[in-house]
Amino acid sequence: MIAVLKPGATEQQIQSLADWIRSQGLTVHLSTGRYQTIVGLVGDTTRIDEDLLGSLSYVETVKRISEPFKSANRKFHPDNSVIRAGDTLVGDGHFAVIAGPCSVESEEQVAEIARAVKQSGATMLRGGAFKPRTSPYDFQGLKADGIEILLHAKRETGLPIVSEIMNANHLPMFEEVDVIQVGARNMQNFELLKELGKTQKTILLKRGLAATLKEFLMSAEYIMAGGNENVILCERGIRTFETYTRNTLDLSAVPVLHELSHLPVIVDPSHATGSAKLVEPMALAAAAAGADGLMIEVHNDPVHAMCDGAQSLTPEQFDKTMRHVRLVLDAITDIEH
Amino acid sequence: MIAVLKPGATEQQIQSLADWIRSQGLTVHLSTGRYQTIVGLVGDTTRIDEDLLGSLSYVETVKRISEPFKSANRKFHPDNSVIRAGDTLVGDGHFAVIAGPCSVESEEQVAEIARAVKQSGATMLRGGAFKPRTSPYDFQGLKADGIEILLHAKRETGLPIVSEIMNANHLPMFEEVDVIQVGARNMQNFELLKELGKTQKTILLKRGLAATLKEFLMSAEYIMAGGNENVILCERGIRTFETYTRNTLDLSAVPVLHELSHLPVIVDPSHATGSAKLVEPMALAAAAAGADGLMIEVHNDPVHAMCDGAQSLTPEQFDKTMRHVRLVLDAITDIEH
Amino acid sequence: MIAVLKPGATEQQIQSLADWIRSQGLTVHLSTGRYQTIVGLVGDTTRIDEDLLGSLSYVETVKRISEPFKSANRKFHPDNSVIRAGDTLVGDGHFAVIAGPCSVESEEQVAEIARAVKQSGATMLRGGAFKPRTSPYDFQGLKADGIEILLHAKRETGLPIVSEIMNANHLPMFEEVDVIQVGARNMQNFELLKELGKTQKTILLKRGLAATLKEFLMSAEYIMAGGNENVILCERGIRTFETYTRNTLDLSAVPVLHELSHLPVIVDPSHATGSAKLVEPMALAAAAAGADGLMIEVHNDPVHAMCDGAQSLTPEQFDKTMRHVRLVLDAITDIEH
Amino acid sequence: MIAVLKPGATEQQIQSLADWIRSQGLTVHLSTGRYQTIVGLVGDTTRIDEDLLGSLSYVETVKRISEPFKSANRKFHPDNSVIRAGDTLVGDGHFAVIAGPCSVESEEQVAEIARAVKQSGATMLRGGAFKPRTSPYDFQGLKADGIEILLHAKRETGLPIVSEIMNANHLPMFEEVDVIQVGARNMQNFELLKELGKTQKTILLKRGLAATLKEFLMSAEYIMAGGNENVILCERGIRTFETYTRNTLDLSAVPVLHELSHLPVIVDPSHATGSAKLVEPMALAAAAAGADGLMIEVHNDPVHAMCDGAQSLTPEQFDKTMRHVRLVLDAITDIEH
């Protein structure tokens, strides 16, 4: 970490800063130029508050050389992480396909979709029991009953299940849920992240609508700092000025997150685009960009889905998309060897 | 609400849609054109899920004529709301000035700032006891001790206090807190909003970094739908491509929210700009735009503030800013008569 | 096009609006409801100014059912366009690979790169002779000399050349240039677009940093409305809050533009990401998403490139990327049959 | 300017970099740490290409300490500039009020509006003769005839006139136009800026929809570097995710631009908000924030304006707004003394 001091910084100010840095367990490297003094902070700067340093009256600018995240950082963990989800694996060549309805509606619905997506090659079943909706008057999910329905489908098909949590108090209900999803709106619900960090559950963390990639990794760090290293990252589109798609899928997130972190990165083309027609091309693109998996909404009757129907595939469309994704994955495999 | 059907919609599809609409307690108004059929939904469409309707295969587009929020809507509540905060009022001519440190650090600090800002005309004292920080390694607040320190300052100065909540389980600690703040990152933490809706506490709801004004009002609606109508809205900047300021303060939010809603709207120029130098011009602009109040960070030693020091005013700067704000408010008063 | 009138619209206002619509050569379809009147405009509404209509005091909202572009619209031209570029083709299965340096620096540089990229399978050579730079003090390109150098490389290698125009007065210099590029910053330089519309040159139109996909197509329409239908669209990233990449590559633009228009769509991963490391994954993703080509910066000595070196591939890296792109293209070909 | 080198930079690389820096007329200040070498570039770094430097393989990061603009920079020109516009002045206490129709439609229209706005205190008359429209099928302005109409109104009322240029070839037509406007879409039409830099005309430069404040100043620098220092900056809203207003007015631009530059800064609330109702509150806010002037659309018959009618004030509304603006300006004057 480097702090560039303002031209007028006094000897006393520089000394007091150096003392404070040393009190944080770091080494100070002073470089006194004719015009400006540059202060290097050497050691583990993860715990240094960049804002605090930058707010000192005689500091012009602060620049981190190393990232402020540690557990999630590839520098300290060069190999790709492989995360367990039920009896399947995600990352480092293990490609996850998480499919299912946006909302759990009924036992028949979920069972039928689960059988179909398993047949097409899905490795996990998703379904929302607790639904974050913009309006308090929109359908909020079947809650505990929804979890039960998912568990029933898990017993029937053997597929691990993924479902979203909105409140740490609900954790007991998620005991048999294999992967707990943190939605985009809760990516910086730090209280929830801390609670999940105390468990050993696998967490699927979705990127917030306005979160930078570094903030996204800092949220993963919240979970990991608590002792839970089972985190899967999910790019699902960011909010931009473009209105044709619901969000703008930022696929460069895949190679960037792979560069910065060892955690697996999956892509949700359904929520990113909000349009069933765009799911396949974006799923193929995600696979080609090196994603470790996909999360795709599948509904047996999209036109009556209780939410987000416009972005769901039918089981038939999903089957076709899966065949095409495998073609790209095979091509990519050739590439990486 | 109007649904424009696709050119090929069949008689049967139209009939089944009309039946469903009626089953929701609404009246149907069909307009069959040569090319397209338009379906009007007349009545209280607040509970109609726009996404669901738009997802039907034969629906081209759905357009709300009335907004999907009700309790917060000016149409159903034409007069400005006046919200109580301790023994002060906010809205409809009652201008709130909420001042204090970003983080509560010590009893002396808070007491000194409280006395100073009261002297300069602040109507409430703010201070963070629970701090949402991007990094798990940054200072997270004094928590319960921080609340105690604020209550002590309240007893001494008589100023009502404002503090942020991050977890509904902490509500008991906020019993004597006059105004509970919901931060930008929790604006769509719907579980928290619902819990706050069950209380009668005054809630200061901050706009999310990527929230549209309509989503902002829907979050207020979450609280109000639960029975708690004591909501103050706070514009605090949105995230854009501009990097010179921390966020982009969207002052047009003030007249737009006043048009759409009866709730008071205050502005936080400190977090919006992230720069002490910009606080006064933006505070004056907010007052001129018709805001019902300001929220300003004040610190007795900004260069050592534990967080966000760069955006804090000293008590002297705050005093000067307050005198200037009053000049603008006086000018504005002349305008509105 | 549909105009929803405000509840209080008078009979006379409705009549005068209907008369005006008819005077524009359109048919009026009035639907008078109990609460609101809806006016349908039937016919070619391309020339109707949506803003004008929406500004009438008694109009609540205006909704286009059909898009305001015509020549670029797939509805009126269902087959994919194939655009000629020198003796190569772009679109409908003809995959373009445009490679070369950001700036033309010298004859040797361009000749060497041209030979290398041709060998690796590039179908066109790019090079900037006129450079749009944010700073007036940065290198502005070799101008006429740069064009000469490109033409020399064209004669030597047979590769058609692509170069950017910044001023319609320079058109005479571009006589032998096969494809004229319009840069992102000039996407709404309507005067330039109109002049290019009067030629029969092939135009490579780049999406503006803050342009919606519809605005992008309207800019293509400016060229085509003048009589020049030889337009290739190029997605090159949009400006968002994310700062890790230079821009955010919006790959969903590929299927969306293919849905709305018959024009070929290529992708520039070099400018979009600003980082050599991200070029290959994004090139593969673009190919998988169905792009009709790629535009990639290649430099024989990236660390001394006069501009944008950080995003250039070496000829060796380009060769490897091209082999990988072909693997994905082959997989995709299997898909589409 | 500071370049932080990568840990592995060799002695030879550092030497070659230092030689190159000296060859640019700068002094080198090397600071060799245990881990990293920092290279300071001392002197006039305006002409150093930051991208070029950052692209070197052994450079980790480049940080400008001083801004890359010079003529527009307050550091080299501490006093506020006062710019002449006809026989009026703008900046340093001279408040400009530019009013008039979006498009020039007829002699009667312009004359009537000109008389009205002069009466209400406008200091200049605006009117578009060349109109940048998103669609080639929308009204493009009366062109030369429009300029004539404006000049006629100027002769009648004595108001200096402001009109937009879209093509440097049209400059001869603007000979008697007092202030030439460069629209948001042409803010980075560098060829146009360079041509305007060769004149001594006063230029009103509007901020681009996706331009950072630094890029905005670099565009002003393009004009000034050519020798024309008569530049007025105009904030007119940026493009964000918010759709309720046409753009998001970034009022913090006013104090930020005043801090970075000596040029006057005016605000256009009409284009920023796209809504007549929001013009007054945003005009008052701009005045309170310290703007040097306002640009407001006024139309005698907004509902029939050929473009942008929804955002125009009537002369009566403008008169009222002007009276209110003066109240705020008077309050602000008290502040600044």
Q: What is the pLDDT of residues A241-281, one digit of tens each?
A: 999 999 999 999 999 999 999 999 999 999 999 999 999 99
Whether the CB of C33 is below 8 Å from some CB of chain B: the reply is yes
In a domain, B68, yes or no: no
Which residue does chain D place closest to C45, by CA atoms?
A: D137
In a domain, D13, yes or no: yes
Whether the CB of C215 is below 8 Å from some CB of chain A: the reply is no
Whether the CB of D209 is below 8 Å from some CB of chain B: the reply is no
Report residue D304's pLDDT band, with 50, 70 and 90 as the boundaries.
low
C189 CB neighbours in chain D (<8 A) are 166, 185-186, 189
pLDDT of residue A318: 97
Of how many residues is chain C composed?
337
Return the exposure string of B205-241: e unless at least 16 CB atoms fall within 10 Å of the residue's CB, then b. bbbbbbbbbbbbbbbbbbbbbbebbbbbbbbbbbbbb
pLDDT of residue B12: 86
Which residue does chain C place closest to D216, by CA atoms?
A: C134
Q: Is the pLDDT of residue A19 over 90?
A: no
- Interchain CB distance below 8 Å, C52 and D309: yes
- Contact residues for A242 (Cβ-Cβ < 8 A; gap 6+): A248, C212, C213, C238, C250
- Of the residues A15, A38, A63, which one is the last residue of a structural domain? A63
**In the block, residue with structure tokens 């610190």:** B299
Mean pLDDT (chain A, rounded):
91
Q: Is the pLDDT of residue A337 over 50?
A: no
Whether the CB of B42 is below 8 Å from some CB of chain C: the reply is yes
Q: What is the pTM of this model?
A: 0.91
At A16 the three-state DSSP class reads: helix
In a domain, C255, yes or no: yes
Which residue does chain A place closest to B71, by CA atoms?
A: A136
- Of the residues C39, C63, C87, which one is the last residue of a structural domain? C63
Query: What does the alpha-carbon distance between residue A43 and residue A39 come to, in Å, rounded to a whole number?
Result: 13
Q: CB of D72 within 8 A of CB of D224?
A: yes
pLDDT of residue B277: 93
Looking only at the bridges linking them, the beta strands covering C83-85 and C59-63 are unpaired
β-strand partners of C234? C206, C266
Task: Put residue D99 in one of left, alpha, beta given phi > 0 → left and psi -120 to 50 → alpha.
Answer: beta
Q: Name the residue type at position A134.
A: T
pLDDT of residue B201: 98
CATH number of the domain that residue C78 is part of: 3.20.20.70
Q: Which domain holds residue B292?
A: 74-336
pLDDT of residue A307: 53
**Do residues B40 and B164 both lie within one domain?**
no
Pick from D309, A60, B166: nearest CA to C52: D309
In a domain, D68, yes or no: no
Q: What is the pLDDT of residues D233-286, one digit of tens each?
A: 999 999 999 999 999 999 999 999 999 999 999 999 999 999 999 999 999 999
**Do residues A27 and A131 both lie within one domain?**
no
- Interchain CB distance below 8 Å, D215 and C132: no
Q: Name the residue type at position D123.
A: T
Rg (CA), chain B: 23
Selected for mutation to probe chain B from A13, A188, A192 (highest B CB count within 10 Å) is A188
**Do residues A323 and A203 both lie within one domain?**
yes
Which residue does chain C place closest to A246, by CA atoms?
A: C252
pLDDT of residue A196: 98
**Do residues C203 and C256 both lie within one domain?**
yes
Query: What does the alpha-carbon distance between residue D83 and residue A230 come to, in Å, rounded to a whole number?
Result: 62
Half-sphere exposure of C26 (CA within 13 A, CB side): 21
Whether the CB of A42 is below 8 Å from some CB of chain C: the reply is no
CATH number of the domain that residue A25 is part of: 3.30.70.1140
- Interchain CB distance below 8 Å, D331 and B330: yes
* Helix ranges (DSSP H) in B198-292: 213-225, 253-260, 269-273, 276-288
Chunked into runs of 10 residues, chain C (337 residues) has average pLDDT values of: 82 86 83 73 78 77 78 92 97 97 93 97 97 89 96 97 97 98 97 98 98 97 96 98 96 97 98 94 98 96 60 94 97 75
**What's the structural domain count of chain D?**
2
C218 CB neighbours in chain A (<8 A) are none
Mean pLDDT of D154-177: 97
In a domain, A69, yes or no: no
**Do residues A298 and A318 both lie within one domain?**
yes
Fill in the DSSP letter of residue A14: H
B133 CB neighbours in chain A (<8 A) are 190
**Do residues B86 and B150 both lie within one domain?**
yes
Query: What does the alpha-carbon distance between residue C18 and residue C20 come to, in Å, rounded to a whole number?
Result: 5
**Do residues A38 and A158 both lie within one domain?**
no
- Interchain CB distance below 8 Å, D303 and C137: no
Q: Is the pLDDT of residue A308 over 60?
A: no
B211 φ/ψ angles, rounded to the nearest 5 degrees: -95, 135
Q: What is the pLDDT of residues A31-62, one digit of tens each?
A: 776 667 778 787 778 778 777 787 777 887 78
**Do residues A47 and A80 both lie within one domain?**
no
Percent of chain D past pLDDT 70, that is, above it, reads 95
**Do residues A95 and A231 both lie within one domain?**
yes
Q: CB of A164 within 8 A of CB of A125?
A: no
Mean pLDDT (chain D, rounded):
91
CB-nearest to A212 from C241, C282, C324 is: C241
- Interchain CB distance below 8 Å, C239 and D137: no
Selected for mutation to probe chain B from D252, D329, D332 (highest B CB count within 10 Å) is D252
**In the block, residue with structure tokens 């800002």:** B117
Of how many residues is chain D composed?
337
Q: CB of C285 within 8 A of CB of C237?
A: no
Task: Compute CA C99 distance to the chain's CA centroid, rounded to the nearest angstrom.
Answer: 17
pLDDT of residue A252: 98
B289 CB neighbours in chain D (<8 A) are 281-282, 284-285, 288
B36 CB neighbours in chain C (<8 A) are 40, 65
pLDDT of residue D249: 98
In a domain, D69, yes or no: no
D19 vs D261 pLDDT, higher one: D261
**Do residues C39 and C93 both lie within one domain?**
no
A239 CB neighbours in chain D (<8 A) are 241
Q: What is the pLDDT of residues A84-103, one digit of tens each?
A: 999 999 999 999 999 999 99
**Do residues A291 and A239 both lie within one domain?**
yes
- Interchain CB distance below 8 Å, C65 and B60: yes
**Do residues B165 and B25 both lie within one domain?**
no
Chains touching D, CB cut-off 8 Å, 3+ pairs: A, B, C
Query: What does the alpha-carbon distance between residue D86 and residue A199 come to, in Å, rounded to a whole number?
Result: 72
In a domain, A205, yes or no: yes
What is the predicted ipTM?
A: 0.90
In a domain, B300, yes or no: yes
Q: Which residues of chain B have pLDDT under 70?
A: 33-35, 65-66, 302-309, 336-337
